[in-house]
Structure 1
Amino acid sequence: MSDVIVLIPAYKPEPRLLGFVQGLTAAGAHVVVVNDGSGPAYADVFQAVRRVGNTVVLNHVVNLGKGAALKTGLNHIACEPGGRVGVVTADADGQHTVADVMAVAESLTANPHSLILGARGFEGQLPLRSRLGNALTRRVMRWIMGQKVSDTQTGLRGIPRAMIPRLLVIPHQGYEFELEMLLVCKYEGIRIRETRIQTIYFDGNRSSHFNPLLDSFRIYFVLLRFTFVSLISALLDNAVFAAAFLCWPNLGAAQVAGRVLATLFNFWGNRNTVFRSKEQVARTLPKYLLLVVVSGAMSYGLIRLFSRPGVMDVYAAKILAETVLFFANFVVQRDFVFPGNQPRRWEERADTATSPPLDQRPAGR
């Protein structure tokens, strides 16, 4: 356990935080607690935590958000000398047991290049907001990432040390930071592994500071960028198509004009802001153009099919055809055109990183 530090962001914690920290240190853990601007009323709780051995307490003057607290702790740990494998983050509200934290730490030690998620089974009686929130986010993330993640909102995570610099530049300060962490794994080719943990809630999870309305909106706002570029491209495509068809009522020519301009914008937007591909344009552009040709041919065929006399006009047919192809195009771009870094390439980069070193333990671990 000396190879892993436990990081706990805390905002107005219950007194049970002290017992949790004591249990972790008794199990051999080093602990960093970040007081995220809890205020004078909670000074005694943090003072008691500070007196526990192998424990550091960092402070925010004001409440900055869970993401900000995690980044404060991650930066502190990354600046520490030594060859620790990484960091295990845990919540301060009593949802995680010492045994589960240790299990995630062991999994991280065994898999130092992977992000480890402490995945809850969501069995028994659960608060409705927790069940619905995770179910919806889980399905959206599976579509976005192309990978099944059973617990997207878990706060118990094992983070490789080499991943910390990438996380520190994430701009988000609140709960959406943890969702962005999963997206970083997609972009960087970092494997996600899961360790089953207990599902624990106290008093209907009233001690949680997660606002089911406001914070869920913030989380899903992060996902909107995946559709924003495609929607703008579709609007551009349809606008150019309509203008060209109005000036020269030739379906093929109007289709080509709209597709060319939308293609240029869509490639730039998807490569740089959606999938954040680091591959050279020479490698991604041919695959993208192949998709454009195939998608354009399918779109043309569908428009012809839908715009038959007595079915619908050509403009409605165009919108319907593009809507049908939207989801298919996203999946193809995600997995074929801009697949992100492969896990092996991430592991090779992590092994050769010089600042900070991922692991300085003796060989044969």
Structure 2
Amino acid sequence: MNSILLIPIYEPSDKTVRFMKQLIATLPVPIVIVDDGSGSEYHDTFQQFVQEQHVHFLSYPINQGKGFALRYGMRYIEKHFPEKNGFVTADSDGQHTIQDITRALEKAQFIQSNQIILGIRSFSKEATPTKSYYGNRLTSQLFRFATKIKLEDTQTGLRVFATIQIPNLVAIKGNRFEYEMNVLLALKEFEWDLETFTIETIYENNNEQTHFRPIKDSLLVYFPFLRFLLSSLTSSFVDIGFFMLLSLVLGKAGEMIFLATLLARVTAGICNYYLNKQFVFSDEAPVQKSSWKYLVLFIAQLVISGVSVSALSTIFSSLLIIKLFVDLSLFFFSFQIQKYFIFNHTT
């Protein structure tokens, strides 16, 4: 089979040992197992299932997180198995059946260099643990908002990649569970097509074995979205604060309101550009590559905001409410343009 399997493991349980023994006995493909710093007390546990000839066992002393472990294994695959067309990442807790992993390995044999294939679970409220059900729903909606891609299962660990994609994959940031979300957010940047296939949905013992930390790791998963929101809120506070100050100084005549909006937007725009470039999208390209695009968006928003606020001020008395309404409407438009046009390195 022209594919390889990569599995990160942290503190394997008896259930993990049973599953891995069965998996290794069933699959004849090379299997790269990464011990994500479980510690010396788990040495004998790993030795129960890593002795087979087609198993490649990697380890390091300190726990680094799933994202780190995946990249660690990818580098090994790139160095030792460059001839393999594709590889599969899977979890060790039994959430992926051997049959589904086998199907993924078959797909990896023929995956194209511009493809990513995900094994997608179907979620029902009755059959899914509460934290997993609502976590997946929230993440799915946020992901759709950010990328315009409808994906029911953004947290699946059963993924198929082309080996040639490894240099890009190891460059993606994130050491823990947020890494897998960051890979999906990079689809547009690397111009990768997303394909899916349905797999069995398995949650045993209310998913208690997972090492996913609901609060801390959820914040890491949602952090790419939160960064843009924080940047926008910061710029909005600058915009609104400066606008209200200028409106007090210049007065509330229609032309003065437009001027106050103009000056406030310029100040907030400069702030927002640098926050988004450095903090949100981590754009290392020269300023001149993105600044002119941002300027076009900035002018468009400036005109729309100024005209809208000025016009609505003749109907409604509260300038603050008018300003908030107009800018909230522009928020969604601005995110999409910046994500896919201004700070997209491939454009």
Q: TM-score range by the shorter chain?
A: 0.7 to 0.9
The correspondence of residues 1-365 of structure 1 with structure 2, limited to 5 A, is: 1=1, 3-21=2-20, 22-24=22-24, 26-113=26-113, 114-123=115-124, 125-249=127-251, 250-275=256-281, 284-308=290-314, 311-338=316-343, 341=346
TM-score where L is the length of structure 1:
0.83
Residues 119, 151 of structure 1: 8 Å contact kept? yes
- Partners of 1:35 and 1:8 lie apart in 2 by 9
- Partners of 2:272 and 2:164 lie apart in 1 by 32
Residues 258, 307 of structure 2: 8 Å contact kept? no
Residues 88, 156 of structure 1: 8 Å contact kept? yes
TM-score where L is the length of structure 2:
0.87
- Partners of 2:227 and 2:191 lie apart in 1 by 20
Q: Give the letter aligned to residue 214 of structure 2.
A: P
Relative to 1, partners in 2 of residues 1:282 and 1:173: Cα closer, same or farther, differing over 3 Å?
closer
SS at structure 2 position matched to 1:267: helix
- Partners of 2:282 and 2:189 lie apart in 1 by 7
- Partners of 1:289 and 1:37 lie apart in 2 by 47
Residues 103, 195 of structure 1: 8 Å contact kept? no
- Partners of 2:5 and 2:166 lie apart in 1 by 14
Residues 108, 115 of structure 1: 8 Å contact kept? no
SS at structure 2 position matched to 1:151: coil
Residues 4, 86 of structure 1: 8 Å contact kept? yes
Q: What per-residue deviation string (whole Å, max 9, x for no partner) do you get for residues 137-182 of structure 1?
A: 0000111112122211111111222332233244422111111111
Q: What per-residue deviation string (whole Å, max 9, x for no partner) do you get for residues 258-286 of structure 1?
A: 22232233334434543456888667555
Q: Give the letter aligned to residue 121 of structure 1.
A: S
Q: What per-residue deviation string (whole Å, max 9, x for no partner) do you get for residues 264-315 of structure 1?
A: 3333443454345688866755544343333223222332344336x33323
- Measured after TM superposition, the shift of residue 91 of structure 1 is 0.5
Q: Give the letter aligned to residue 135 of structure 1.
A: R
Relative to 1, partners in 2 of residues 1:315 and 1:33: Cα closer, same or farther, differing over 3 Å?
same
Residues 119, 150 of structure 1: 8 Å contact kept? yes
- Partners of 2:151 and 2:238 lie apart in 1 by 34
- Partners of 1:270 and 1:332 lie apart in 2 by 12
Q: Give the letter aligned to residue 38 of structure 1.
A: S
Residues 107, 195 of structure 1: 8 Å contact kept? no
Residues 36, 66 of structure 1: 8 Å contact kept? yes
Say which is worse superposed, 268-277 or 292-301, in terms of deviation: 268-277
- Measured after TM superposition, the shift of residue 338 of structure 1 is 4.6
Q: Give the letter aligned to residue 319 of structure 1.
A: L
Residues 25, 53 of structure 1: 8 Å contact kept? no
What is the identity percentage for the equivalent residue pairs of Structure 1 and Structure 2?
33
Residues 7, 88 of structure 1: 8 Å contact kept? yes
Relative to 1, partners in 2 of residues 1:238 and 1:329: Cα closer, same or farther, differing over 3 Å?
same
Say which is worse superposed, 182-191 or 265-274, in terms of deviation: 265-274
- Partners of 1:333 and 1:67 lie apart in 2 by 26
- Partners of 1:195 and 1:314 lie apart in 2 by 51
- Partners of 1:194 and 1:130 lie apart in 2 by 20
Relative to 1, partners in 2 of residues 1:214 and 1:288: Cα closer, same or farther, differing over 3 Å?
closer
Q: Give the letter aligned to residue 296 of structure 1.
A: L
Structure 2: segments with no counterpart, 5+ residues = none
Relative to 1, partners in 2 of residues 1:87 and 1:341: Cα closer, same or farther, differing over 3 Å?
same
Q: Matched residue pairs, number?
A: 340
- Partners of 2:122 and 2:298 lie apart in 1 by 41
- Partners of 1:89 and 1:57 lie apart in 2 by 15
Residues 257, 310 of structure 2: 8 Å contact kept? no
- Partners of 2:231 and 2:238 lie apart in 1 by 10
- Partners of 1:162 and 1:341 lie apart in 2 by 18
- Partners of 2:47 and 2:132 lie apart in 1 by 31
Q: Which has the higher contact order (CA 8 A, sep 6+)?
A: 1
Match of 1:351 in 2: none
